[in-house]
Amino acid sequence: MNQGEAKTEKEQSPNNLEEARTSHWLFSRRGPAFLGPIVRIFDHSEKIVGPYIKKGQVVADIGCGWGYFSFALVDLVGPEGKVYSVDLAKKCIRVIQNKAEKRGYHNIEAHTSTAAVLSFIPDGSVDFVFANGLLCSMAIDRQLAVNEMKRILKPTGMAYLSLGSPPPFGFVDQPEWDDILAGFKVEQGGSFKEMWALVSLKQEV
C-alpha cells in the first residue's frame, strides 16, 4: 500500500468523508436550502408525529439537514422542551445555529456528527427521535445509527423512521428495513411501500 492509499478517515477532507457516508443530495433531505419550503409541502411527517410530541419533551432530529423540521419540532416542545439537531454537514449546522440565535431559540442544540455517534446525547434522555429520510441516505453505519437511537430513547420514548427513497437511490432495501423494524415495536406504518414507521422500544420480559 502506498502513502496515498494509506490515508485514514481523519485525513480525508470533510467533503470526501461526507460523500463516502451519504447518498447524493438529490436523494436525501440535505438538498439546497431554498428547497426547504417545497420539501415540507410534500412531506407529511409533521402530521404523523405531531400528536406524539408534547410540551416540555426532548426531541432528537437526526439527519436534520438544514433544519426544516427542527424549528417545527421546537415549537411543539415549547421553551421548556429541547431539540437536538444533528447532521453530518457542517454548513447545515451553522445555518441552524444562526437561525436559532436570530429567532431567539435557546433550546435547539445543534451538532455536526454522523448519526452513528451520538455520544453528546445521554442514555435514555430523549422522548422522541425524528429520523426522517435518514437511514436511506447513510452509505455506511446504518445499524450503528439505529443502536444509538435505541440508546438515547427513554423507555417510554418513540421514534419516527422514514425512507426518502428506495434502492437504487437509497441504501435501505426491504429486507434491511424489515430487520430494522424487527428491533422495535411498530406502532404505526411499517410497510416498505409506505416507507415510514412510528416505533417504540421493545419492553424486556
For the chain, the domains span: 4-201
Q: Where are the beta strands (DSSP E) in 45-183?
A: 58-62, 82-87, 108-112, 126-132, 153-162
Give the HSE-up count for residue 91: Cα atoms under 13 Å, Cβ half-sphere. 7
What phi, psi does 44 have (nearest 5°)?
-100, 15
In whole angstroms, give the CA distance from residue 59 to residue 37: 22
Pairing of strands 196-201, 184-189: antiparallel
CA 28 to centroid of chain Cα atoms: 11
Question: How many Cβ atoms are within 10 Å of 148's Cβ, its own excluded?
Answer: 23
Query: Which pLDDT belongs to residue 13?
Result: 42
Length of the chain measured in residues: 205
Pairing of strands 196-201, 153-162: antiparallel
Q: Tens digit of pLDDT per residue, the chain (205 long)?
A: 444 444 333 344 444 555 555 544 444 445 555 555 556 556 678 889 999 999 999 999 999 999 989 999 999 999 999 999 999 989 999 999 999 999 999 999 999 999 999 999 999 999 999 999 999 989 899 999 999 999 999 999 999 999 988 898 889 999 999 999 999 999 999 999 999 999 999 987 6
In whole angstroms, give the CA distance from residue 167 to residue 8: 29
Question: How many Cβ atoms are within 10 Å of 161's Cβ, its own excluded?
Answer: 28
Look at residue 69 and give its three-state secondary structure: coil
Query: Which pLDDT belongs to residue 205?
Result: 60
Question: How many Cβ atoms are within 10 Å of 22's Cβ, its own excluded?
Answer: 23
CA-to-CA dists, residue 105 to 18, 25, 65, 168, angstroms:
28, 27, 18, 38
pTM for the full predicted model:
0.83
Query: Which pLDDT belongs to residue 195?
Result: 94
Query: Which pLDDT belongs to residue 35?
Result: 56
Architecture of the 4-201 domain:
3-Layer(aba) Sandwich (3.40)
